[in-house]
Structure 1
Amino acid sequence: MKYLTALFCSLCCLLAHGQTASADITVHKVLKLMGTRFEITVVAPNEEIGYINIDEAVSEIQRIEKIISSWDEESETALINRNAGIKPVKVSPELFNLIERSIRISEITDGAFDISFASIDHIWKFDGSMKMAPDDSDIKKSIAKIGYKKIELDPENSTVFLPERGMKIGFGAIGKGYAADRAKELLVSKEVKGGIINASGDLTTWGTKVTGEKWLVGITNPLNKKKAFGWLPIVESSVATSGNYEKYIELDGKRYSHIIDPRTGYPTTGINSVTIFAKQAELCDALATSVFILGKDVGLHLINQIDGVEAIIVDSENKIQKSTGIMFNTKK
């Protein structure tokens, strides 16, 4: 899962009260969508229009979920998975393009990001029941069907084929960011002046607060989620954070994150949280997980090579590592 500081939420609530600098107001709503917490904030001329805007964003997110959900048996994604090892499945251009982009991210991250990770056998348990690590042979078997290079795409016929029975794709590490982007695009097209869509930490913004100030995002302190390391103003940008501060296990004195490397089957170590900044929430979502898996050195090297993308890493010693373009205040 992805998390942003709860302090951000309190800022949104404060904005909902009267503003004297503008006739506009801020309307805010918290919902459960795609199985997780969504917070949608819009700048609107009045409360009624604000809630209409939010309802339109919700409808768009629900539309996306019906396409990419692997739990919905009628979704295109579920149909692809059911036909693994059987036949190619014709899909909508929207899903085909999302899969293409996902594979490109897999390529630039050397497989640290992989939508075929849904094929894994879940032998690691993060509910406190594990007392020792699984055997190496069991770990190797658990990832046998993972591999983005196996996914067969036919652009001419718009089909997707998973060649091995038991293969699956899933969009848990990119889907919420994609849905947030699409909802934002819809609201921008309807001339909503500004807002934030926060999909459980995959966050995208446009415009400004009703005061004209920039939206402000706090970087969560993994040792205390109610406090922030620092604050960054963001404009027309997106943010995503991956953290191990809620789901992890400790074995023989070593902490293992719930984030599993799809290439090895082992949980990641060495990082407490990764925050990614980019134009699209979809890219932030995917890269936050990828950098967590790649590690701070390789991860920052990758981010420093991608234009328009920045990262803040809090390592296992709670020290901050930053990409070259990051500057932020350590005070609220």
Structure 2
Amino acid sequence: MLAIKTLAPKSVIFRRTVRLMGDQFEISVVGNNPDWADERIDDAIAEINRVEKLLSTFSDDSAVNEINRNAGISPIKTTAEIFRLINRSLEISALTFGAFDVTYYTAEKDTTDPDNTTKVAVKKSLSRVNYQSVVLDAKEQTVFLKEKGMRIGFGTNSRGYAADRAKYILQMQGVSSGVINAGGDLLAWGLQPNNEPWTIATADPSQKAHSFANVNISNMSVATSVNTQKYTAAISNKQLNTINPKKGFPVSGIKSVSIISPSAELADSMATPVMSMGINAGLYLINKLNQLACIIVDDHDRVYTSKDISLTN
């Protein structure tokens, strides 16, 4: 009897684009079953929606709003997930000397002071925006904001955290290879169907059609911050009007900073601080850290890279 050998279906990339967390996400998984791939992408979307709801400041009953409402009043016991996220955020704040900070200040308008909404309010807000005024109690799992009017928000790192969580859910469901594009920031793992690593083409933000190198990002994440004071319409990924948090004016000298890290949350958190620190200080900081790399493009189109990063033309 003649044995007939059947070939397994060839793996391909299944993609879906959806608007999540106020931005465009594209979720890609490698597999050979369309129904299975659709279910896995549904799982990732559900997890991203969960993270958005968890970190929302628009819902009155959210844990973050509970912390904010009790600023200057009392510590609030929170979930282990939020506690760990705040703790990591404070560690990054300390690492960047406050260039990254999830705290801010909401000044109440004083109708008896006509200057309150300008000079006085700005002065107060700058003086009270301080990550060091967040008190964590690991034993009780409480968070306390020392100053009344202080707030915490995760607008700068929530998408990265959501991407990390979605990747975790996908891997737990057996997705061995995929890419999550969170508004231009990428998180990739595994290999492409042709067994080649995932790569991205890096470019000058003002000439995005002309790349200067390819970067291997398999099992890594890359987040890019752009100085949109000059290049608002130049590229399609994350566009920030970058402000130096200590001096209060736009950063100059750098067009873009791309951070490469195993964690999307960390990459997301570090991109803007490195830009505000400047080329030399930013590279010095990244070079001291393990498993972090960066690519910087300055106003004169010169490219700077941290140590051990390999660019291939």
1:70 alignment partner in structure 2: 57
The structure 1 residue matched to 2:153, chosen from 160, 165, 170, is: 170
Distance in 1, Cα, partners of 2:26 & 2:205: 21
Partner of 1:244: 227
Q: Distance in 2 between matches of 1:269 and 1:286?
A: 20
Aligned to 1:313: 296
Structure 1 residues 166-245: aligned runs within 5 Å:
166-245=149-228
Find the aligned partners of 1:104 and 1:248 in 2 and give their Cα distance. Answer: 31
- Are the aligned partners of 1:120 and 1:143 in contact in 2 as well (CA < 8 Å)? no
SS of corresponding position for 2:255: strand
Contact 1:223 1:245 in 2 (8 A): no
**In the TM superposition, what whole-angstrom CA distance separates every residue of 1:58-97 from its partner, at most 9, and x where no partner exists?**
1111111111122333321122112212222211000000
Contact 2:229 2:242 in 1 (8 A): no
Are the aligned partners of 1:140 and 1:264 in contact in 2 as well (CA < 8 Å)? no
1:90 match: 77
Q: Does 1:28 align with 2:11?
A: no
1:264 CA displacement? 2.9
- Residue 261 (1) aligns with residue 244 (2): yes
2:128 maps to a residue whose letter is K
Q: Which of 266, 270, 273 is 2:256 aligned to?
A: 273
In the alignment, structure 1 residue 101 sits paired with structure 2 residue 88 = yes
Q: 1:178: Cα distance to partner?
A: 0.8
SS in 2 for 1:259: coil
Q: Mapping of 1:44-83 within 5 angstroms?
A: 44-83=31-70
Amino acid at match of 1:306: L
Whether the 8 Å contact between 1:150 and 1:162 is mirrored in structure 2 is yes
How far off is 1:22 after superposition? Answer: 6.4
2 CA distance for matches of 1:294 and 1:72?
Answer: 34
Q: Aligned equivalents of 1:76 and 1:210: distance in 2? A: 41
SS in 2 for 1:197: strand
Compute the displacement of 1:321 (Å). Answer: 0.8
**Residue 41 of structure 1 contacts residue 196 of structure 1 at CA under 8 Å; is this kept in 2?**
yes
What's the secondary structure of 2:68's corresponding residue? Answer: helix
The structure-2 alpha-carbon separation of the partners of 1:248 and 1:26, relative to structure 1 and needing over 3 Å to count, comes to closer
Identity %: 41
Deviation at 1:140, TM superposition (A): 3.4
Letter paired with 2:80: P
Question: SS state of the match for residue 40, structure 1?
Answer: strand
**1:41 aligned partner:** 28
- Structure 1: runs of 5 or more not aligned: 1-19, 122-133, 250-256
**Matched residue pairs, number?**
291
Cα distance in structure 1, aligned partners of 2:227 and 2:86: 27
What is the letter of the counterpart of residue 235 of structure 1? S
Counterpart residue identity of residue 280, structure 1: S
Q: Which has the larger radius of gyration?
A: 2
Q: Which runs of 4+ in 1 moved over 6 A?
A: 134-138, 246-249
The letter of the residue matching 2:127 is A
Structure 1 distance, partners of 2:94, 2:56, is 23
Q: Which residue of 1 aligns with 2:105?
A: 119
Structure 2 gap segments, 5+ residues each? 1-6, 108-116, 233-239
Q: CA deviation at 1:155?
A: 1.2
Shift of 1:136: 7.5
Would the alpha carbon gap of residues 191 and 246 (structure 1) be closer, same or farther in structure 2, given more than 3 Å must change?
farther
CA deviation profile, 1:97-137 (whole Å, cap 9, x unmatched): 01001111111111111111x3377xxxxxxxxxxxx9877
Given residue 195 of structure 2, which amino acid in structure 1 is its aligned partner?
Answer: G
SS in 2 for 1:301: helix
User: What TM-score do you get using the length of structure 1 for normalisation?
Assistant: 0.82
* Structure 2 counterpart SS, 1:84: coil
Is the 2:188–2:220 Cα contact (8 Å) retained in structure 1? yes
TM superposition shift of 1:227? 3.4
Specify the code of the residue in structure 2 equivalent to 1:81. N
Give, in whole Å, the separation in 1 of the partners of 2:290 and 2:203.
24
Give the Å deviation of 1:248: 6.8
RCO higher in structure (CA 8 A, sep ≥6): 1
CA deviations on 1:193-244 (whole Å, 9 max, x unpaired) are 2000111122211111111111111213211234323211222111111012
Contact 2:9 2:32 in 1 (8 A): no
Secondary structure of 1:168's counterpart equals strand
SS in structure 1 of the partner of residue 275 of structure 2? helix
Deviation at 1:162, TM superposition (A): 1.1
